[in-house]
Amino acid sequence: MHRVGSAGNTNNSVRPRKEKRLTYVLSDADDTKHCAGINCLKVLKSTVSDGRDYLFTGSRDGTLKRWALSEDSATCSATFESHVDWVNDAVLAGDRTLVSCSSDTTLKAWNCLSDGTCTKTLRQHSDYVICLAAAEKNSNVVASGGLGGEVFIWDVEAALTPVSKSGDAMEDDCSNGVNGSTNSLPVTSLRTISSSNSISAHTSQSHGYVPVGAKGHKESVYALAMNDSGTRLVSGGTEKVVRVWDPRTGSKAMKLRGHTDNIRALLLDSTGRYCLSGSSDSMIRLWDLGMQRCVHSYAVHTDSVWALASTPTFSHVYSGGRDLSLYLTDLVTRESLLLCTKEHPILQLALHDDSIWAATTDSSVHRWPAEAHNPQKVFQRGGSFLAGNLSFSRARVSLEGSTPVPVYKEPTLTIPGTPAIVQHEILNNRRHVLTKDTAGSVKLWEITRGIVIEDYGKVSFEEKKEQLFEMVSIPAWFTVDTRLGSLSVHLDTPQCFSAEMYSADLNIAGKPEDDKVNLARETLKGLLAHWLAKRRHRLGSPTSANGDVLSGKDFAHRSLGHSRVEVDGGAENDSKVYPPFEFSTVTPPSVVTEGSQGGPWRKKITDLDGSEDEKDFPWWCLDCVLNNRLPPRENTKCSFYLHPCEGSAFQILTQGKLSAPRILRIHKVVNYVVEKLVLDKPLDNVNTDGTFAPGIGGPLQHSVVGDGSFRSGLKPWQKLKPSIEILCNNQVLSPEMSLATVRAYIWKKPEDLTLNYRVVQGRLAWLVVIEIMCLCEIPGKTSILLGVLHLNGQITPRLRVRVQSGSGGGNSKVSPSDSALVIGEKDKKFGGRIDSWNASLKCGIKKRSVKDVISSDLDVLWDDGYGTKTAKDFFEGAKEMIRPDGGPPRWFCPTECGQPLKDSPILLFCPGIVGVGLALTLHHKALGKVFEVRCLHIPVNDRTPFEGLVKFVEETVRLEHASSPNKPIYLVGDSFGGCLVLAVAARNPEIDLVVILANPATSFDRSQLRPLIPLWEALPDGLYNALPYLLSFVMGNPVEMAGVNIEYRLPPRLQIEQLFQNLIALLPHLSDLVDIIPKDTLIWKLKLLKSAASYANSRLHAVKAEVLVLSSGNDHMLPSGDEAQRLKRTLKNCTVRYFKDNGHNILMEDGVNLLTVIKGTGKYRRSRRIDLVLDFIPPSMSEFKQGYDEVIGLLRFATGSAMFSTLNDGKIVKGLHGVPNEGPVLLVGYHMLMGLEVYSLVPEFLREKNIMVRGVTHPVIFRERQGVSSPEFSLADWMKVMGAVPVTASNLFNLLSTKSHVLLYPGGAREALHNRGEEYKLFWPDQQEFVRMAARFGATIVPFGTVGEDDVAELVLDYNDFMKIPVVNDYIRDANRNSIRLRDKSKGEVANQELYLPGILPKVPGRFYFLFGKPIETKGRKEEILEDRENANQLYLHIKSEVERCIAYLLKKREEDPYRSIVDRTVYRALHSPLHEVPAFDP
């Protein structure tokens, strides 16, 4: 037993603290399940003939639960939550009182038939209380023992009887509302326990009652047992002896020796004469207390015996322990039998009729057959052995291979628990914790919200920890342990208040970006938000002079002078809870703490009723939440020196040390240098001591240009002027680094930090400065548009704008002294492309106007422009861009991209060897909606070496990362560009990058191009110019490029005709390749490609980014298929999609919509981690056509779905008119064979109602396919494109919270993969959670039924058939063993979620029919459904019956459909109308 300090301070705490601690315990699991090992069991038999029996379980998670038992199920009917550490044992004292003990050193009494009411907390032990014993026929006597060597005998009635209180004496009472009510319970068999000289009189018991103390143990007590009448008590522990006591006086009767190790379990027969003991020496001993000796020894186990249970006649004993085995032993004949083996050590046993419950270190409880009334029945099965007398005899049998075979393979009933967290790691950002549970599942928690934000499944914990590493330094403001099987987050003052972040880093909308946010203060506000609301309601919202809510005893009267605390003046003095600190009310955390009186207590945050005050909470916690005051903290400043780099001509800006907050970002230091060095502003804001004067958001106000840039909504780097680098230890610092991060990871010395600055050599890298003065705001003045473009080393003017003044008077030109570029009519098409990457022409709009037009979402079936551009447009654009301009490589934004959505990430495209940067021509419009697209243009005559290009791209990446550190940066590399982006990713592993490679040229050494380099060099110029069509191999497959804009629905003749026309139009442009990539440029590019491939391949090991590889099967330039597999094996996080019909230039060819591929592979996100709900991009019209017409068009044609719905008045109509248009709407229905109905349901909602239905599906869909060498873009990828998300509670929560239409199949895989004869049968679990979730958001539930699977196919081989076939059954088992499991804790057919592909025989297709039932409103019923599970269950059953009714209706009415057959529908379509208008039966 390991000693670990409990969550709160007790009066006898092992680790005393000056101030009380506050802990909150997180859980993402069902509250009706334990999440840690089960330490104790107790069965309560009903005294009524038809009454229900109950099982009580106490867990290491600190809670007890009551289970209502039936023949084949156990339902959690109450949770008892008040202990703050492990619950170690529990006993029943009478019919209504449950007494428990815990490692928090307390005993607690409960009304066992209540909803979890604690009636009294008893404190007498000085250490963990480990065991209890009760007299079955005298419910007034309970004994307790623990690690302190103390044994106490309690008079239950006296201990629970309320007495008059004086002052603060009643610390043990639960009347403060924290632990429950004070009602005492009627206890039978009352009697007085007299004391003697052996009783320890603990006068510290403030309420006057003193238990009887049994003195004698010098060491820890592990086991107790009492006879039925309560006249004899036995105890055992680490002293290896059995002690016998008279519980009436606490006096010792005898001491029995025999065991050679700790005694862990004890039993007494009803008379108190015979005693059984189990020990860590693996022996069971039977003692005759009358004779005071051991009469029998039983060597049954091979390891420690931890649990014993006997038959009512004390003739047989059930035993379990560390060897994972449960044995039945005849105490007379010594015959033993192995009943079962388990996966975990057995901690306790409890007999229940002819069954036995077994508790283990796992969170589940199992019931096994026991035949307790006639155990000889079990022995008749055979397999028994004779128990030896020596402990090593069983071990010898085991070693000889004669281990008995267990009688039972499976339990008759299992009460499932949730896996306990066994490993955790606090990440450097100090907001996230990575955990691993006993099932091997790795999850990422956000502790400031108490939720799981990412479930990675069964992955390597260490690898995931490395992937999530961030080079940031934030003080350790909390600690974490997983002792309770879940995350317990501990806050200790004043350390917890040491961490601060800027509101911009927390993405808090509506709060100034430079405001500092104290993480602990905001977390406390989030935790106590419910308490504050209840408190205001109870107190009628009285406020103090400064607006604070006062407690009932006027908390402000406490002696909390400002010498002890500081007012958090930077935070708003209110109770507003910001989104990053909102805790879930679905799985609320529990608070564990204590105040000035009483002891530690535990309660869910939603159960706090507002009556708690300083007696219950630590003073510092209330002072923070109510009065906005924080205790004094350690120095949050960082001192540093700022000097120019060695050899620089610049003078030192300041004398002496500077001081700034630890969280200050380097970009503010850059701004400081810029302002003082370049803008030459006086040092007005520098104090005499060298510290930065406080200002907006804290220090360094003067270092930001006006510091209003942060208020304007622009990022700091969008306001910077010259390019300044800050260095530490000769290492260039990233602008988003904080001073603390630099000190911890770069400086690494105890001395004050020294920073150096320098201007980037070779250029003044000016970013774009665009200012437009609105004419209506400056009447009579001339508006000025100034565009200064950064062209890698020189300032070249590119724009000349003529603007009419507001008064109508003359024109004003802004024209540079050297030659300006005037964009004429011919140049307008591509002029925008040559614009600087940070000065796209679309930016020349007044700031407020830009903000007004930026959209935050896309419409369903939006126009992505795919198919409107072809390779012909590429050639036309490339010819315009290759005109000599004398410039180096640069970024440009294609004008077709338009304005992206709000908060869109940036996408940087690096081209192939052609270098013009227009290879995304087909994708510009689509990508421009969801990305800020920037394309790299490498002029024809540019000869920048590969490393120079890498540094150029790298600088852009770092600037973008500094501007938006929480957004990913997408790097798309085509062929040669693939080498370029891989090199950048390898050099910047700390930056969040998503790398997309289109046939990357990393395989250049194995390509057909390398041996051709000498041939190209020797080729005469005339012959080179005559071979444009030979050069076309660079561009890929001309046929695929010509097929981009061909309409799929056209008849084949017209498709061929259009393809031929496109080829005729494309072929003349192939000759342009000679101009686009001349001979000397081609030779240079091929040599550049060789060095690029070598450079990238040598650094693949350093790539940490997400990588998506698009690989062509018809690439004649590079071995792209093999290369994709090599990259997948080499890179840590690599996904591959194979396009077998495409050529090298895959981005210019038909069938590859880049945005669709990004969405389908789950790579699109707007922040560090993907949010499947908020990051979802609705399907475009081209995706709808391709997905539903080309991919599954044949199925939709064959099944010709007929849709019916029910209006609010109950009338059934054709179409979907009865389904509400406004969400949230939850569609709940029957899952047909293989889920075939989904492919008709979702498109019909899109076609008829323009509504996107988001389906929740099996997580295996989102798992990358294993063992597939060349995975193509599959149906599973299309499901993601169309909005499918994994079925999790958090996803359902997020979908409903965004008012979505959600498709849910409670039957899951069991329904979709049903057996023969189970058509249209529902397999729904006995869980109504989706009903409660819908009620929480007031969602409308629409039950629906669908039929038709038996009209399209016949099921010939089901799961049972396949499992009878050798080899095939092994394959299915292996596949399911490695797949994600759902409902693995459920029982019965519902739990059978095995995945396999059924054997079906197609039929001449019939028709699918859908009927959506009458909408069921939950709006306004939130409290009714959430607080009463019976109401929720009734609604659940009603929904289920409605689905069955819809199915029955359709099965009957489809017989009346004259167009049920595909033949009849085809004839009708030919004569009348399209497919969707074919009539059906009259509803």
- pLDDT of amino acid 1367: 84
Kindly report the average pLDDT of the chain as a whole number: 79
**Mind listing the pLDDT tens digit for each residue in 800-816?**
332 323 333 333 332 32
Most confident of 26-30, 1141-1145, 1158-1162: 1158-1162
Confidence of residue 1413 (pLDDT cuts 50, 70, 90): very high
Confidence of residue 864 (pLDDT cuts 50, 70, 90): confident
**Mind listing the pLDDT tens digit for each residue in 1177-1204?**
999 988 888 887 777 778 888 888 999 9
**Mind listing the pLDDT tens digit for each residue in 435-470?**
999 999 999 999 999 999 999 999 999 989 988 988
Cβ burial 531-541 (10 Å sphere, 16+ → b, else e): bbebbeeeeee
Q: With beta carbons less than 8 A apart as the criterion, state whether 623 and 25 touch.
A: no
**Mind listing the pLDDT tens digit for each residue in 1380-1407?**
666 555 555 555 567 778 888 888 889 9
Lowest average pLDDT, out of 197-206, 229-238, 941-950, 1074-1083, goes to 197-206
- pLDDT of amino acid 792: 34
Contacts of 481 (CB under 8 A, 6+ apart): 4, 488, 490
Nearest to 223, CA basis, from 194, 261, 192, 249: 261
More confident residue, 201 or 716: 716
Nearest to 415, CA basis, from 59, 28, 48, 49: 59
DSSP 433: E
**Overall residue count recorded for the chain in this entry:** 1483
- pLDDT of amino acid 766: 36
CA distance 1112 to 912: 15
User: For 331, left (φ over 0), alpha (ψ -120 to 50), or beta?
Assistant: alpha
Tally of CB atoms within 10 A around 1116 = 14
Compute the average pLDDT of residues 1352-1360: 89
Percentage of the residues of the chain whose pLDDT score is greater than 90? 41
Compute the average pLDDT of residues 1012-1017: 61
What is the SS3 string spanning 696-727?
CCECCHHHCCCCCCCCCCCCHHHCCCCCEEEE
pLDDT at 1300 over 90: yes
Lowest average pLDDT, out of 69-78, 185-194, 1011-1020, 1093-1102, goes to 185-194
CA distance 334 to 328: 10
Lowest average pLDDT, out of 387-391, 694-698, 1213-1217, 1409-1413, goes to 694-698
What is the SS3 string spanning 1223-1289?
CCEEEEECCCHHHCCHHHHHHHHHHHHCCCEEEEECHHHHCCCCCCCCCECCHHHHHHHCCCEECCH
**Mind listing the pLDDT tens digit for each residue in 517-564?**
999 999 999 999 999 888 888 877 544 333 344 444 444 444 343 334
CA distance 1155 to 1133: 20
Angle at 1405 between CA 1403 and CA 1409, to 5 degrees: 125
**Mind listing the pLDDT tens digit for each residue in 476-495?**
999 999 999 999 999 998 88
- pLDDT of amino acid 1012: 61
More confident residue, 1212 or 757: 1212
CA distance 284 to 282: 7
Return the H-helix or E-strand segment holding 1091.
helix 1079-1097
Nearest to 796, CA basis, from 744, 839, 758: 839
- pLDDT of amino acid 5: 42
Compute the average pLDDT of residues 1344-1366: 90
pLDDT at 236 over 80: yes
pLDDT at 189 over 60: no
Give helix then strand counts, H and E, for the chain: 37, 69
**Paired sense of beta strands 22-25 and 38-44, if any:** unpaired
CA distance 1225 to 1251: 11
Confidence of residue 344 (pLDDT cuts 50, 70, 90): very high
